[in-house]
Amino acid sequence: MTPHPSPLRLLPTTVALTLALAVGSRTPSLTAQSSTDTLDISRAIVEVVVQEARNGGDHHGPFAFNQSAESSWGHAVAAMLRSEHSDLVVAPTLHALMLTVGDVVVFGDSAHATLTWARCDERTAHINSWAHQVVYLLERASGAWHFARREIVWFADGHC
In sequence order, the β-bridge partners of residue 115 are 101, 134
Angle between helix 7-23 and 35-54 (nearest 10): 110
Q: How far apart are CA 156 and CA 10, in angstroms?
A: 38
**Pairing outcome for strands 97-107 and 110-120:** antiparallel
Phi then psi for 153, rounded to 5 degrees? -80, -50
Model-level pTM greater than 0.85?
no
CATH 3.10.450 fits 7-158, yes or no: yes
| Segments in the chain forming alpha helices (H) | 7-23, 35-54, 72-84
User: Greatest CA span in the chain, whole angstroms?
Assistant: 50
- The domain locations on the chain are 7-158
Give tens-digit pLDDT for 134-155.
Answer: 999 999 998 899 999 999 999 8
For residue range 92-138, what is the model confidence (pLDDT) as tens digits?
888 888 999 999 999 989 999 999 999 888 776 778 888 999 999 99
Helix axes 35-54, 72-84, angle to 10 degrees: 60
Contact 78, 21 (CB under 8 A): no
Distance CA(139)–CA(110), nearest Å, equals: 4
Rg (CA), the chain: 16
